[in-house]
């Protein structure tokens, strides 16, 4: 089974200026879970002064924990955020570790060496609380500030993070620089050093290669794909990077290929109405919601 992890309530909403009402966020999370989505990143534990869009994350964790079978995860930027996440009751948390030091200093104000120390401290908090801890290797495929990011640097920093206590890794195409051949090379190189702890791709569709990159990852054994409903999101600290992989398009591709996701595509598409009502005028992306599934979609799923 392929795990489609919905990151819109965090990565999507942090990238727009408006704040979605708490009731609408809860409706969104509940509706996606009802459609069969098994993991949702409900928000991030950052200071509300920096991202007021995330100020209600603790309340969302409390709500999402009441939904049977839903894995409730959140992003944390540092030790303080990790402590807040644990107190709120998350099942899992992840920390972004930028492979571009320039981006790291801009995003979390820490050098690579400082981030390794922070990862070790967060890992200790997670172990003590019995919370799953993942590290997102962001800007792994390139950076709008530095350009190309050397593959050996990504591998070296992944190993250092593993030694510091990371239980799981994702490779993040923060800036939409990845291509399918690069995805294959980098997944192989990182997995050769950290093994099955590399499970996830976090892809952006900035240049239209999101689904192609997802397929390349699947062919290399990736089992989890992050996506955002309506393609909301990007990175506020990576100029020109906008648009996550569209959950609806990803689920259509996976289901029609006969890969099991457990997600009802028609119910998933209906969730868009919650976003459209709560964020009027906000662009929502995706081909599948407009075109609809193929006439033989359900037959394809059965094969």
**Residues labelled as active-site residues:** 235
Q: Measuring CA to CA, which residue among 134, 103, 147 is closest to residue 237?
A: 103
The C-alpha atoms of residue 42 and residue 197 are separated, in whole angstroms, by: 22
C-alpha closest to that of 211 among 117, 105, 101, 287: 287
Nearest in space to 244 (alpha carbons), one of 236, 229, 233: 233
Q: What angle do CA 234, 81, 128 make, to 5 degrees?
A: 125
For the purposes of burial, counting CB atoms within 10 Å of the CB of 229, is it exposed (0-12), middle (13-18) or buried (19 or more)? buried
Cα separation of 151 and 127, whole Å?
30
| Cα–Cα nearest to 100, from 33, 28, 184, 157 | 157
Q: Are 211 and 249 in contact (CB under 8 A)?
A: yes
């Amino acid at each position: 089974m392929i795990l489609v992890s919905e990151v819109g309530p965090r990565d999507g909403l942090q990238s727009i200026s408006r704040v979605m009402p708490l009731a609408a966020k809860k409706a969104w999370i509940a509706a996606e879970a009802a459609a069969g989505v098994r993991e949702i990143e409900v928000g991030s534990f950052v200071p509300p002064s920096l991202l007021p869009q995330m100020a209600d994350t603790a309340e969302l964790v409390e709500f999402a924990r009441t939904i049977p079978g839903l894995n409730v995860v959140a992003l944390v930027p540092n030790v303080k955020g990790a402590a807040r996440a644990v107190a709120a009751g998350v099942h899992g948390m992840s920390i972004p570790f930028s492979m571009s030091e320039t981006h790291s200093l801009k995003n979390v104000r820490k050098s690579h060496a400082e981030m390794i120390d922070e990862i070790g401290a967060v890992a200790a908090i997670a172990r003590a609380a019995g919370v799953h801890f993942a590290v997102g290797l962001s800007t792994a495929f390139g950076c709008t500030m530095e350009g190309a990011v050397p593959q050996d640097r990504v591998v070296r920093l992944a190993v250092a993070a593993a030694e510091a206590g990371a239980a799981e890794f994702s490779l993040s195409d923060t800036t939409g620089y990845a291509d399918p051949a690069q995805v294959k090379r980098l997944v192989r190189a990182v997995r050769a050093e950290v093994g099955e702890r590399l499970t996830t791709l976090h892809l952006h569709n900035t240049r239209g290669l999101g689904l192609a990159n997802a397929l390349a990852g699947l062919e290399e054994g990736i089992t989890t794909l992050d996506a955002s409903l309506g393609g909301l999101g990007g990175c506020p600290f990576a100029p020109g990077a906008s648009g996550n992989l569209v959950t609806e398009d990803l689920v259509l591709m996976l289901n029609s290929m006969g890969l099991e996701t457990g997600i009802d595509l028609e119910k998933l598409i209906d969730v868009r109405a919650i976003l459209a009502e709560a964020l009027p005028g906000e662009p929502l992306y995706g081909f599948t919601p407009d075109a609809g599934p193929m006439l033989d979609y359900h037959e394809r799923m059965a094969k």
